[in-house]
Amino acid sequence: MFKILVVEDDKELNRTVCAFLNSSGYEATGCLSANEAYDAIYASMFDLIVSDIMMPGVDGFEFARNIREVNSEIPILFMTARDDIASKQKGFRIGVDDYMVKPIDL
Protein backbone atom coordinates (compact mmCIF):
# COMPACT_ATOMS: atom_id res chain seq x y z
CA MET A 1 0.00 0.00 0.00
CA PHE A 2 1.18 3.54 -0.80
CA LYS A 3 2.17 5.21 2.49
CA ILE A 4 1.91 8.99 2.92
CA LEU A 5 3.25 11.05 5.81
CA VAL A 6 1.25 14.23 6.47
CA VAL A 7 3.10 16.85 8.53
CA GLU A 8 0.64 19.60 9.46
CA ASP A 9 0.37 21.38 12.80
CA ASP A 10 -3.33 22.24 12.38
CA LYS A 11 -4.97 19.22 14.05
CA GLU A 12 -8.25 19.47 12.15
CA LEU A 13 -6.64 19.88 8.74
CA ASN A 14 -4.21 17.05 9.52
CA ARG A 15 -7.10 14.78 10.50
CA THR A 16 -9.13 15.80 7.41
CA VAL A 17 -6.29 15.22 4.93
CA CYS A 18 -5.41 11.86 6.49
CA ALA A 19 -9.06 10.74 6.50
CA PHE A 20 -9.43 11.72 2.83
CA LEU A 21 -6.23 9.90 1.84
CA ASN A 22 -7.14 6.80 3.86
CA SER A 23 -10.62 6.67 2.29
CA SER A 24 -8.98 6.99 -1.13
CA GLY A 25 -6.95 3.82 -0.68
CA TYR A 26 -3.72 5.21 0.75
CA GLU A 27 -2.21 4.66 4.17
CA ALA A 28 -1.80 8.13 5.66
CA THR A 29 0.00 8.89 8.92
CA GLY A 30 -0.44 12.32 10.46
CA CYS A 31 2.18 14.19 12.48
CA LEU A 32 1.68 17.56 14.13
CA SER A 33 5.34 18.64 14.06
CA ALA A 34 8.58 17.98 12.24
CA ASN A 35 10.03 16.30 15.32
CA GLU A 36 7.09 13.91 15.45
CA ALA A 37 7.58 13.26 11.72
CA TYR A 38 11.27 12.42 12.21
CA ASP A 39 10.21 9.71 14.68
CA ALA A 40 7.64 8.35 12.21
CA ILE A 41 10.20 8.30 9.38
CA TYR A 42 12.68 6.33 11.48
CA ALA A 43 9.96 3.87 12.47
CA SER A 44 8.50 3.29 9.00
CA MET A 45 9.10 3.80 5.28
CA PHE A 46 6.93 6.31 3.41
CA ASP A 47 6.32 6.80 -0.31
CA LEU A 48 5.44 10.50 -0.09
CA ILE A 49 5.69 13.36 2.42
CA VAL A 50 3.12 16.16 2.46
CA SER A 51 4.32 19.00 4.71
CA ASP A 52 3.25 22.44 5.82
CA ILE A 53 5.89 25.18 5.88
CA MET A 54 4.78 27.30 8.81
CA MET A 55 5.06 25.07 11.87
CA PRO A 56 6.34 25.83 15.36
CA GLY A 57 9.89 24.74 16.11
CA VAL A 58 11.33 23.16 12.97
CA ASP A 59 9.61 24.75 9.96
CA GLY A 60 8.88 22.98 6.69
CA PHE A 61 11.95 24.37 4.94
CA GLU A 62 14.31 23.00 7.58
CA PHE A 63 12.35 19.74 7.73
CA ALA A 64 12.60 19.25 3.94
CA ARG A 65 16.29 20.17 3.96
CA ASN A 66 16.95 17.57 6.68
CA ILE A 67 14.99 14.91 4.80
CA ARG A 68 16.90 15.65 1.58
CA GLU A 69 20.22 15.12 3.40
CA VAL A 70 19.13 11.59 4.27
CA ASN A 71 16.88 10.67 1.35
CA SER A 72 17.05 12.42 -2.00
CA GLU A 73 14.43 10.15 -3.59
CA ILE A 74 11.27 10.48 -1.47
CA PRO A 75 8.84 12.97 -3.03
CA ILE A 76 8.03 15.98 -0.83
CA LEU A 77 4.96 18.11 -1.44
CA PHE A 78 4.50 21.40 0.40
CA MET A 79 0.89 22.16 1.40
CA THR A 80 0.97 25.72 2.70
CA ALA A 81 -0.69 29.12 2.88
CA ARG A 82 2.57 30.74 1.73
CA ASP A 83 1.97 31.57 -1.91
CA ASP A 84 4.78 34.07 -2.49
CA ILE A 85 7.35 33.41 -5.20
CA ALA A 86 10.29 33.60 -2.77
CA SER A 87 8.87 30.76 -0.64
CA LYS A 88 8.21 28.63 -3.71
CA GLN A 89 11.72 29.24 -5.04
CA LYS A 90 13.26 28.42 -1.66
CA GLY A 91 11.26 25.20 -1.46
CA PHE A 92 12.25 24.08 -4.94
CA ARG A 93 15.92 24.92 -4.28
CA ILE A 94 15.80 22.72 -1.17
CA GLY A 95 14.45 19.87 -3.27
CA VAL A 96 10.69 19.96 -2.74
CA ASP A 97 8.90 18.29 -5.65
CA ASP A 98 5.68 20.31 -5.74
CA TYR A 99 3.76 23.01 -3.95
CA MET A 100 0.03 23.27 -3.10
CA VAL A 101 -1.41 26.52 -1.78
CA LYS A 102 -4.08 26.38 0.93
CA PRO A 103 -6.97 26.22 0.90
CA ILE A 104 -6.68 23.01 -1.05
CA ASP A 105 -9.43 21.13 -2.84
CA LEU A 106 -9.07 17.54 -1.70
* pTM listed for this prediction: 0.95
Q: Is the pLDDT of residue 64 over 90?
A: yes
pLDDT in tens, 67-83: 999 999 999 999 999 98
pLDDT in tens, 80-102: 999 899 999 999 999 999 999 99
Q: Is the pLDDT of residue 106 over 90?
A: no
pLDDT score of 99: 94
Give CA–CA dist 24/91, Å, rounded: 27
CB 44 within 8 Å of CB 1: no
Q: At what angle do helices 85-94 and 60-70 cross, to 10 degrees?
A: 20
CB 51 within 8 Å of CB 59: no
| Domains of the chain (ranges, CATH numbers) | 3-101 (3.40.50.2300)
